[in-house]
Structure 1
Amino acid sequence: MDKYFSIGEISKLSNLSVQTLRHYDKLGLLKPSLVKKNGYRYYSLEQFYKLDFIIFYRKLGLSLLEIKEIMLNKITIEGTVDLLQNQEYEIDRQIRELQKQKKLIQKKNQHIKSMLMKPLGIPFLNEKQKKKIAKVNMSNKDLEDAEMSFRKVVNTLPKLNDIFNLELLYEINYEEFNKKREVKYNIYFNIIDNNIEDDKNIKICELKEGVYASIFCIDYYENYEKYIKQLLKFIKEESLKVEGPLYESYIASEFCDDKEKGFMELFIKITKAHSKK
């Protein structure tokens, strides 16, 4: 009489869960040799070899459906060699992608750490390097339109559609805000790929290098105006001259009390402070 093994025994011997074996049965990958009237499943010794085959190709990274296709087509040794070679190429590709992703994560992490070293909630003068940025073309300039326009543009530029690469800059007209407290937005983002050019969606420009009045904060978005007021007060008290728009740069975020707190920098280009007598 042939020796049969219960699904529990197969589970222990193969180090696979009973649920996994039932899933293999459902997919037609590894059906039991015998199913009794009470529903108990039993497997033969030969099915260990089939199970080894499945485990081998799973470790190669193939999906269960791909393995089923291989089994149905009765893969040859030569076919196995080709498959192994292709999987080697695929693993090399994944390693390159992971290394690239790791560098982006390291860069993002270093950027956030360096920004956290700046004083929080206290205006100061900050030297900035020239930076290539892209202005998103918008019909209106309220915050909702800015967000929608930005997301539509990013979807047309796959090379920029990476959360680790993107740094958003919201531009506010300084004069309008200072006089009327009205906020009209433009939105920009960093350009990493030098091959990107002007089109109907974006205009390539730059953030000028020079001295900026800056303030960093970690707070709920609705509180951002108080930091703008602190920054403008600092500019006035230090007799600084403004040269351009006010920017909000989003660095990172955290969640607190079911609400998002933004880690952001508010900054505006200025001329050197006048010496006080």
Structure 2
Amino acid sequence: MKSDITISELAKLMNVSVHQIRYFEEKGVLQPSYTDHNLYRMYDMEQVYQLAHILMLRKLGVSVQSIQECMASFSADHYQQLLHASLRDIDSEMKRLKELKQFIHKVLQEQKNLGAQSNPYQIKRRDTSYLKQWMEMDVKAKLTAKRLAEQTERIPNLFELDVHSIYDGSNLVHLCVETDATRSDFSLPEGNYLSMQCLIHEDDELEQIISQFYDHAAAESYVTTGPLILIEKSYLSLFSNNKLHYELQVLIESDADTEGVNVHGGGTDND
């Protein structure tokens, strides 16, 4: 009984394509045992194991160009180092996928909550939250791509975050992202916040919407305190033909909520 197999049989056995095996042969990392009189490439157990090692190295991220060197000269210690490096890469990728999964859940939940609202005005209970200033700009200035590019601090996945713009009555607006207490420049106290969701085409529309927001607060006899918080949720623009999605928030006074925004000395001078 013939003990060797053809290239197609080898491909089927190892669950790869014939093209992939030929590619490995072109690169010099795998050769058939011999070529028979019909010019068929034939492979024995040595090539089966060799191909198994090649495929494992490819899974570990070793380039085809480097496989020949690995198989010719790597010691057991080299392979252990390679496996540990692969584990670190896997851990990093698992972290990335976990963060992506959390972000997708967040977007879907935000969209679900938005769709369930029949009234754009809501009262939301907000726990104490902490913000780190990313940039500040004149309250009359327009945010441009050039201004963003000029920022020395780069925030990964910026537009996957809820970007908070703090309007505190001064001539500056503070653009912030959420952080923990130890790194914060601002803290927003817990309490009830009047909230309004809106979609706009241009930033120029914001002034009118802010005016309507405060008109509604006055009509409902809400006593507002502290700054206006404008939260940009750019990821929700996916669902609205690229209109900008904002949520306006302001703390409303009650017996338990009388404090405004506290400013920390964590790197900005906003006292």
Same-fold status (TM-score > 0.5): yes
Match of 1:255 among 228, 233, 238: 238
Tell me the equivalent position of 2:251: 269
User: What is the CA RMSD across the aligned residues, in angstroms?
Assistant: 4.4
Tell me the equivalent position of 2:27: 27
Equivalent runs, 1:55-204 vs 2, <5 Å: 55-60=55-60, 62-73=62-73, 75-76=74-75, 78-79=76-77, 83-84=79-80, 87=83, 90-91=86-87, 94-95=90-91, 98=94, 102=98, 105-106=101-102, 109=105, 113=109, 116-117=112-113, 119=117, 121-138=119-136, 140=138, 141-144=141-144, 148=148, 152-155=152-155, 161=156, 166-172=161-167, 185-192=173-180, 194=182, 196=183, 204=185
Q: How far is the alpha carbon of 1:175 from its aligned partner?
A: 8.7
- Tell me the distance in 2 between the aligned counterparts of 1:220 and 1:28: 60
Tell me the equivalent position of 1:201: none
Q: How far is the alpha carbon of 1:96 from its aligned partner?
A: 7.7
- Tell me the distance in 2 between the aligned counterparts of 1:246 and 1:270: 11
Q: TM-score, normalised by structure 1?
A: 0.64
Q: TM-score, normalised by structure 2?
A: 0.65
Q: Deviations over 1:68-106 (max 9, x none)?
A: 331131x45x44xx6347625753773486368637844
Tell me the equivalent position of 1:13: 13
Structure 1: which 5+ runs fail to align?
156-160, 177-183, 198-203
Q: How far is the alpha carbon of 1:143 from its aligned partner?
A: 1.4
Percent sequence identity is: 21
The one-letter amino acid of 2:130's match is K
Q: Tell whether the 8 Å contact from 2:193 to 2:249 is kept in structure 1 after alignment.
A: yes
Q: Deviations over 1:176-196 (max 9, x none)?
A: 8xxxxxxx74311111483x4
- Tell me the distance in 2 between the aligned counterparts of 1:60 and 1:5: 27
- Tell me the distance in 1 between the aligned counterparts of 2:97 and 2:150: 23
Q: Deviations over 1:39-90 (max 9, x none)?
A: x8735434333212212334455443453331131x45x44xx634762575
**Higher alpha-carbon deviation: 85-94 or 13-22:** 85-94
Q: How many residues align?
A: 244
- Tell me the distance in 2 between the aligned counterparts of 1:131 and 1:146: 30
